[in-house]
Amino acid sequence: MSKVDRRIIKSQEAIKKAVLELMSEKSFDEITIQDIADRANVNRGTIYLHYLDKFDLLDKLMEEHINNLREACEWACDMEWVDATIVFFEYFESNYLFFSTMLASKGAPSFRSKFLDFLIDEFKDEVDTTTGKNDGLSKDVMVKFVGNAYVGVVESWLKDGMPSPPNLMAEQVGILLERIL
């Protein structure tokens, strides 16, 4: 695999940051490629070298974060609930601009759906409805309940400006997940 030029990485990061900053200021529909180029301090052509249009840029940005969460899940999901949840809340904190913008933005409602779908997919193997406290409950309902609750807690925490540190949020959410699942 060939090494990617640092200038390319730097340009792509500037472009991604620019679109997120702009989305926190105005609706995605109002943002132009020129706005993104100006904010990122790159030429319009540089954006088109990497992305088809602003929709492709947004899709790739969302896909990148969902893939990062999926990769983290591959190793973190073998941990206890609280420990695994810390990994995710620290990721949300370190990517605050992305998650707060995507979950609050009217221009990217598809991210919330993609995030929820990811969580439902990850939680579905954790639900046992054949024994104990969940005996007889619908697996589908439980997974949707847990996924929506998780998204809601993350969304609220980010909208409130992360008033609690990630480890405290993760501990609370992890304990709830242990109780439910």
Radius of gyration of the chain, Cα coordinates, nearest whole angstrom = 18
Statement to judge: residues 145 and 80 lie in one domain: yes
* Residue that is last in its domain, among 12, 30, 51: 51
Number of domains forming the structure of the chain: 2
150 domain residue, yes or no: yes
Token pair 């969304």 is at which residue?
155
Statement to judge: residues 153 and 115 lie in one domain: yes
Amino acid at position 84, single letter:
A
Statement to judge: residues 88 and 168 lie in one domain: yes
How is residue 129 written in tokens? 């409805």
Statement to judge: residues 138 and 165 lie in one domain: yes
CATH number at residue 38: 1.10.10.60
Statement to judge: residues 69 and 119 lie in one domain: yes
Domain that holds residue 13: 1-51
Statement to judge: residues 98 and 168 lie in one domain: yes
Residues whose CB falls within 8 Å of the CB of residue 100, separated by 6 or more in sequence, listed in order: 24, 158, 159
Statement to judge: residues 106 and 165 lie in one domain: yes
Statement to judge: residues 44 and 76 lie in one domain: no
Statement to judge: residues 87 and 8 lie in one domain: no
Statement to judge: residues 87 and 114 lie in one domain: yes
57 domain residue, yes or no: no
At residue 106, the pLDDT reads 65
Statement to judge: residues 73 and 18 lie in one domain: no
Residues whose CB falls within 8 Å of the CB of residue 129, separated by 6 or more in sequence, listed in order: 135, 136, 137, 138, 139, 142
At residue 1, the pLDDT reads 55
pLDDT < 70 regions, the chain: 1-2, 105-107
Statement to judge: residues 71 and 15 lie in one domain: no
Cβ burial, residue 144 (10 Å; 0-12/13-18/19+): middle
Task: Supply the pTM of this predicted model.
Answer: 0.91
